[in-house]
Amino acid sequence: MHQVPRAHAVDGEDTGRMDNVSGTIAKSGMRSEGDGATRLGNIVDLRSDTVTRPTVEMRRAMAEAEVGDDVYGEDPTVNRLEKRAAEIFEKEAALFVPTGCMGNLIAIKVWTHHGVEVICDERSHVNLYELASMSAIAGCMPRIARGVDGILSWKLIEAVIRPKIYYDSQTALISIENTHNMAGGTVHPTASVDEICGHAHEAKLKVHMDGARIFNAAVALGESVRQMTKKVDSVMFSLSKGLGAPVGSMLVGSDAFIEKARIYRKMFGGGMRQAGVIAAAGLIALEKSPARLHVDHENARRLAEGIARTPGLKIDPAQVRSNIVIFDCQETGKTAVELCDVLREKGIWALDTAVYSVRFVTHCDVDHAGIERALAVLAEVLTQPQRARA
Ligand code: TLP
């Protein structure tokens, strides 16, 4: 029996596990109240890079942060974080937002109006995991394109742009995800992003990048985030994923974009007052963490190679370019939920992303030994039934 509550129930109804090709997430492994397992210290939590705990340096900076009322623009630590983010991306301005979801929604709201379409990949976070906010709040329709491993090209985008005819809804925005989460941390080549932006701008369309993990993409490409985003109109990136901060994401773009984004942040309830307390950790994450992301990528590759050698599991390690490892478990005879449940009992936490698809995400709180342990446990749980039959 599943040991954790179904976190996705709405109005008291259990939504259960969806059987789809495009991926569900977090049906297994959501931490229940009083669970306390992570506190035991022997858990290898690979559910997401969102689970990291702030470092001692971050906690100290949080305790000592200089603060003010950020709604009045008076929090010096938030102002410093926003200035640094804008500098690093070589954009005019930046805005600290509580979450990636809010950052993406704000960008969509700024670039669109009710009744228009947003082109995005079918498995993108804005399409699948943001509770239809682009429709519910921004009044837009997602217009789905099917990327190759989540990666959109101008050719794929062009095919779904609406003709400029008064009786058709109109395309307003293109949203691309870099790295692409549900495709397994795949990376957009910068030349392709530039090409998309060039054509989009000619067609009077804006391009937003959901760069929740853009620093992982930068490491995979060996390029700077500035170079990778020079033509996009807005970027959201997360401080609270691979970079290890406890809370927060950033929006970067032009002065005019950020001015409007600030208004929508307040409208959506994201005016955070003495937010310097969390921005202080975000600053450390931004300055220090990119330099260590290659370790997470090496760990992900090691995981993928081990998984490829494990009976019943399928993955192509060469496809693993960043910190996300998604593998197929159909041949084991277990569903992803069943596999996650047995792994969890042995201290390895993972997420099911589709019926036979499991996700591991590497991060700063899982070291080499944790990876080896995850692989050993995987091999153990998948070879035990065979031994029992022999
Ligand atoms: N991703 C989470 C889950 O929501 C799936 C995860 O564990 O990977 N864009 C991308 C590409 C994301 O992966 C996420 C979160 C977000 C946006 C939203 O960020 P937050 O959680 O800060 O709202």
Q: What domains are defined for the chain?
A: 37-53+329-389 (3.90.1150.10), 56-290 (3.40.640.10)
Provide the 10 A C-beta neighbour count for residue 201.
13
CA distance 29 to 349: 6
β-sheet bridge partners, residue 267: none
Ligand 1 center from residue 206 Cα (angstroms): 22
Which residue did the predictor score with more confidence, 345 or 389? 345
Residue in 175, 241, 360 to alter for ligand 1 test, most ligand atoms within 8 A of Cβ: 241
pLDDT digits over 303-319, tens only?
999 999 999 999 999 99
CA distance 202 to 374: 49
How sure is the predictor about 385, in pLDDT bands with cuts at 50, 70 and 90?
low
Q: Averaged over 368-381, what is the pLDDT? A: 97
Residue in 49, 99, 129 to alter for ligand 1 test, most ligand atoms within 8 A of Cβ: 129
Ligand 1 center from residue 17 Cα (angstroms): 19
Ligand 1 center from residue 333 Cα (angstroms): 29
* CA nearest ligand 1 atom 7, residue: 48
CA end-to-end span of the chain, whole Å? 27
* CA nearest ligand 1 atom 19, residue: 100
CA distance 94 to 71: 15
Are the C-beta atoms of residues 206 and 174 closer than 8 Å to each other?
Answer: yes
Ligand 1 center from residue 387 Cα (angstroms): 39
Ligand 1 center from residue 329 Cα (angstroms): 23
The secondary structure of residue 22, as a DSSP letter, is S
Q: Is 48 helix (H, G, I), strand (E, B) or coil?
A: coil
Ligand 1 center from residue 240 Cα (angstroms): 9
CA distance 364 to 53: 9
* Residues within 6 Å of ligand 1 by CB: 25, 48, 50, 99-101, 104, 125, 129, 177, 181, 210, 212, 238, 240, 249
What global pTM score does this model have?
0.91
Tokens linked to 114? 């009710």
Beta-strand runs (E) in the chain: 44-45, 93-97, 117-121, 141-145, 171-177, 206-210, 234-238, 249-253, 324-328, 348-349, 351-354, 357-361
* Ramachandran angles phi, psi of 78, nearest 5°: -60, -45
Q: What is the mean pLDDT of the chain?
A: 91
CA distance 218 to 108: 24
The confidence score (pLDDT) of residue 383 equals 86
Which residue in 318, 328, 322 sits closest to 299, CA to CA? 322
Which residue in 75, 76, 78 sits closest to 95, CA to CA? 78
Cα angle 150-317-345, degrees, rounded to a multiple of 5: 95
Ligand 1 center from residue 346 Cα (angstroms): 26
pLDDT digits over 242-288, tens only?
999 999 999 999 999 999 999 999 999 999 999 999 999 999 999 99
Tokens linked to 372? 């080896």
Q: Which atom of ligand 1 is nearest to the CA of 124?
A: 11
DSSP string, 68-85: --GGGT--HHHHHHHHHH
CA distance 7 to 26: 8
